[in-house]
A = this chain, B = another copy of it.
Amino acid sequence: MKKFLVLWGVLLCCLPIFSQGKNDKTSPEIHEDRSVTFRLKAPKARRVQVWGDFIKPVTIETGRGKFETTVPVNMVEKEDGVWEYTTGPLDSELYRYLFYVDGIGMLDMQNTYVMRDGRKMLNYFIIPGGIGDVFLASDVPHGTVAKVWYDSPALNMKRRLTIYTPPGYEESRRKYPVLYLLHGMSGDENSWDELGRLKYIMDNLIAAGKIVPMIVVMSNGNSPYRSAAGESADGMMVPTNVISKEGDFEPSFNDIVRYVDTHFRTQKSKSRRAIAGLSMGGFHSALISMNYPDLFGYVGLFSPGTPVEVSDIPVYCNISQKLSEQFRKGVELYYMAIGSKDFLYQKNVDFRHRLDSLGCPYVYRESGGGHTWTNWRNYLVDFLPRLFK
């Protein structure tokens, strides 16, 4: 057996040699006190910085108003050209980050964990000991994640879904409730699974007995496209700033529900279906649930784009009338959440006033922070235990 192992040693020597040599150190290194050290060996660099979610945001003022943003912090050059930065103790969370070397944004090549957010790639790490534990794979039963293709006669194409089925689905004969979970702009059917840590959240909360086992369907809300970039004949260009053509995604959602109800063991009633989404996906969730008021008993709007009346587009008109009808027919839960620094905050205030004036009851949660995945993951963890009880 030794002979065999020696061979593999030789193999490793033949692989392309990367810059990270024997003097490099771990990055990121999570310390016992939950502080984190980043390291990059760049002996010829004049300035090395790190940007990340752990940096306190600053408020900047532009012609369009005040916004929160986060600016990179300087790393310090130590021995052997290794640049370092150590944070203070961090709250348990998932944090994204990126290096800048003399102004060039680059990933930490010591950390193979990367998230794609639209066209951007970012490294990430998770601090355990709190909400972060919900985002980590644990020693609990795991659900299945499948990438399937459904037929959409409404959009005249085959399109892709990501579907989570809970632990035990394959072995049981029981039927499950379904949560339809929608992404935001520049996202796709992969976003909740990758950026949203969906499968870990589901596995962990189901194992803890905090939520009902359910199927989660993650759709692609970019109606001109079949799937995430590179995964269909639409090609490899990552579209930015995709918004559905005016009002064609919402009616096509019926194709998704039909596919799921005929291909999975679902409980096929309004009281066993939920729809929720972030940003553009919240906009879609509000509109789909009000235009098809017999479909969804539970609605979750996370930092949503709010519906605006457009008289010549059927799904965008008569919004107040449709909301009243939706609530008259019965809503188990209408949940809204937004961060106090979100650029959509005032629009959400306005939409809640409209719900109030129509006498439509909702659950409202306001967090700190802005239009971020940190907030959306947290809203989901807050929303899920309220479903199908």
Binding site for B on A (CB under 8 A): 1, 3-5, 7-8, 10-20, 40-46, 51, 62, 64, 67-70, 98, 100-107, 109, 112-114, 116, 119-121, 125-126, 136-142, 144-149, 158, 160, 167, 170, 185, 227, 229-234, 236, 238, 240-241, 243, 246, 263, 279-280, 283, 305, 308, 310, 313, 316, 343-344, 347, 370-371
Contacts and interface: CB of A to CB of B under 8 A. Distances in A.
A14 B67 contact: yes
A148 B126 contact: no
A144 B147 contact: yes
A45 B116 CA distance: 26
B148 A170 contact: yes
A121 to B, nearest CB: 6
Contact of A121 (B7, B42, B112, B147): B112
A116 B15 CA distance: 14
Interface SS of A by simple majority: loop
A221 B141 CA distance: 21
A31 to B, nearest CB: 15
B144 A13 contact: no
B106 A69 contact: no
20 contacts: A1-B316, A7-B347, A8-B280, A8-B305, A16-B51, A17-B69, A19-B105, A41-B104, A43-B103, A44-B102, A45-B104, A101-B101, A106-B107, A107-B121, A112-B119, A113-B236, A114-B116, A142-B232, A144-B148, A148-B170
B310 A19 contact: no
B120 A18 contact: yes
Contacts of A12: 240-241
Contacts of A370: 14
Q: How many chain copies does the complex carry?
A: 2
Contacts of A140: 233
B64 A13 contact: yes
Nearest to A232: B137
Given A10-B343, A107-B121, A147 B145 contact: yes
A233 B137 contact: yes
A8 B186 CA distance: 11
B46 A104 contact: no
Ranked 10 nearest A-B pairs via Cβ: A139-B233, A146-B146, A44-B102, A106-B106, A19-B105, A18-B105, A142-B149, A144-B148, A145-B147, A1-B310
Given A14-B67, A42-B104, A371-B11, A4 B308 contact: yes
A139 B137 CA distance: 35
A11 B106 contact: no
Given A18-B120, A112-B238, A142-B149, 16 more contacts: A4-B283, A7-B343, A11-B343, A11-B344, A11-B371, A13-B64, A14-B370, A14-B371, A16-B120, A18-B105, A44-B103, A106-B106, A142-B158, A144-B146, A144-B148, A146-B147
